[in-house]
A and B are shown apart, each in its own frame.
Chain A
Amino acid sequence: MTSPNVAAGCAAPDQSAPVPAHVDLNRETVLTGIVQNADGEPVGGAYVRLLDSTGEFTAEVVSSPEGVFRFFAAPGSWTLRALSRSGNGEVVVDATVGVNEVGLSVSPA
């Protein structure tokens, strides 16, 4: 049994914290990265959502002040979409088990 408190609810954990030590990276599929604006600056407070291969909403987190976001998903194709005051953006990712680093840029519509 590992840290039951981590998953006791549905609120997003601190996005800037390192991946918790008990997370087994041989088993978990982690999608993580930084939201950046057109000038390459990190965008904190962006709403980042994970959509499955059919475009269905799966989860949403708010990026940390450093722009960092993270999801625990499963291997396969995912779309990451960000909404922010600096604009919106999205990227498609083919994820595998382990840590998948994803760049996500936003720009005004």
Chain B
Amino acid sequence: MSRDTALVSADWAEQNLDTPGLVFVEVDEDTTAYDGGHIPGAIKIDWKKDLQDPVRRDFVNQEQFGALLSERGISNDDTVILYGGNNNWFAAYAYWYFKLYGHDQVKLLDGGRKKWELDARPYTKDVPVREKTSYSAQAPDLSIRAFRDEVVEAIGVKNLVDVRSPDEFAGRLLAPAHLPQEQSQRGGHIPTAISVPWSKAANEDGTFKSDDELAKIYGDAGLDGSKDTIAYCRIGERSSHTWFVLKELLGQQNVKNYDGSWTEYGSLIGVPIALGDEPGKA
């Protein structure tokens, strides 16, 4: 993968709003933004209601994903352009799902809602009607998803990239700073993880930095290109953003997103935790 195949610019998107075979999809946890105005022709996916299993603590399975896309009128042959708020966090998470379930033709809109709005590009409140399809999702590609045991085994062995803010990494905050800090899990990070906040990869307008800038950021932070990599954050959406950068923009092999992330790891009994600003020892 590369920037040319994984990313589209706002200019390109605005010129291709009516192109057949393209489906624009807004993905957010809070879809009131979509309801208040969205890119013309775009449909919405609610990260929580549509992409999380309502009972098990997991995301939707192969059948559920296929049923969702069928119901929304997306076919296996469509090229899906994802975008959203929060600097594309949840759009990047959805991108990872699409890849996990074998949908190759998926791209992110660089800058998401923020770039679109700051450029004063058009929004509409009209909700498009799309014919239902019979979408067939493939078996999950677990080469891009990390589970907890694998993460514990990766301590001191693989690249672990903690993409939360420095204060979350150190254990001084338990959640992003726009939310109340009432979580009960332990603070800190997985020992030997390097701290590269997701935001390092983005410009202020939400677009991704250049490949050269990105390669330097992760290289300077100590990411070893010869090792496999696991990225994590708190609930797996910010680390999808970094997974996208490492795997899809920089083309690194063997990059996984640990979607259980700190919410799971910081609640496990008996696993090692490091506190403070340094990676810590294995």
Interface residues of A (CB under 8 A from B): 1-2, 6-13, 20, 22-23, 28, 45, 47, 49-50, 52, 54, 56-62, 70-74, 83-85
Nearest chain B residue, comparing its CB with the CB of A7: B179
Q: Judge whether B178 and A57 touch: CB under 8 Å.
A: no
Nearest chain B residue, comparing its CB with the CB of A72: B180
The answer, among B117, B167, B184, for a CB contact under 8 Å with A58, is: B167
The answer, among A2, A50, A54, A71, for a CB contact under 8 Å with B166, is: A54
Please, how many angstroms separate the alpha-carbon atoms of A41 and B233 in the complex? 37
> Which of A6, A11, A73 counts the most B-chain CB atoms under 10 A from its CB?
A11
Q: Judge whether A61 and B178 touch: CB under 8 Å.
A: yes
Contacts of A61 in B (CB 8 A): 178
B interface: dominant SS: loop
> Which of B217-225, B234-242, B266-274 contacts the other chain?
B234-242
Asked, given contacts A9-B47, A11-B86, A45-B117, whether A59 binds B167 with beta carbons under 8 Å apart, the answer is: no
Q: Judge whether A9 and B177 touch: CB under 8 Å.
A: no
Please, how many angstroms separate the alpha-carbon atoms of A8 and B236 in the complex? 12
Q: Judge whether A74 and B180 touch: CB under 8 Å.
A: no
Q: Judge whether A6 and B179 touch: CB under 8 Å.
A: yes
Q: Judge whether A71 and B178 touch: CB under 8 Å.
A: yes
Is B48 part of the binding interface, using a Cβ–Cβ cutoff of 8 Å? Answer: yes
Q: What are 26 inter-chain pairs, A to B, with CB distance below 8 A?
A: A1-B184, A6-B182, A7-B183, A9-B235, A11-B47, A20-B180, A22-B180, A22-B182, A28-B180, A47-B114, A49-B204, A50-B177, A52-B165, A52-B166, A52-B167, A56-B199, A57-B197, A57-B199, A58-B167, A59-B177, A70-B178, A71-B177, A72-B175, A73-B177, A84-B118, A85-B118
Is B275 part of the binding interface, using a Cβ–Cβ cutoff of 8 Å? Answer: no
Q: Judge whether B177 and A58 touch: CB under 8 Å.
A: yes
Return A11 CB to nearest CB of chain B, in Å: 4
- Mark out the residues of chain B between 177 and 197 whose CB falls within 8 Å of any chain A CB in the assembled complex: 177-184, 197
Nearest chain A residue, comparing its CB with the CB of B37: A45
Return B86 CB to nearest CB of chain A, in Å: 6
Please, how many angstroms separate the alpha-carbon atoms of A58 and B179 in the complex? 11
Our count of residue pairs bridging A and B at CB distance below 8 angstroms stands at 100
Asked, given contacts A2-B182, A28-B180, A59-B176, whether A9 binds B197 with beta carbons under 8 Å apart, the answer is: no
Return A102 CB to nearest CB of chain B, in Å: 14
Count of interface residues, chain B, beta-carbon cutoff 8 Å: 38
Return B159 CB to nearest CB of chain A, in Å: 21
Is B26 part of the binding interface, using a Cβ–Cβ cutoff of 8 Å? Answer: no
Return A98 CB to nearest CB of chain B, in Å: 14
Is B211 part of the binding interface, using a Cβ–Cβ cutoff of 8 Å? Answer: no
Contacts of B235 in A (CB 8 A): 9-10
- Mark out the residues of chain B between 31 and 62 whose CB falls within 8 Å of any chain A CB in the assembled complex: 33, 47-48
Additional pairs, 15, CB under 8 Å, beyond known A12-B178, A71-B177:
A1-B184, A9-B29, A9-B235, A10-B86, A10-B175, A11-B85, A12-B85, A22-B180, A45-B117, A47-B114, A50-B178, A52-B166, A72-B181, A73-B177, A83-B205
Nearest chain A residue, comparing its CB with the CB of B29: A11
Nearest chain A residue, comparing its CB with the CB of B165: A58
- Mark out the residues of chain B between 86 and 101 whose CB falls within 8 Å of any chain A CB in the assembled complex: 86-87, 89-90
Please, how many angstroms separate the alpha-carbon atoms of A92 and B42 in the complex? 38
Asked, given contacts A60-B87, A83-B118, A83-B205, whether A13 binds B165 with beta carbons under 8 Å apart, the answer is: no
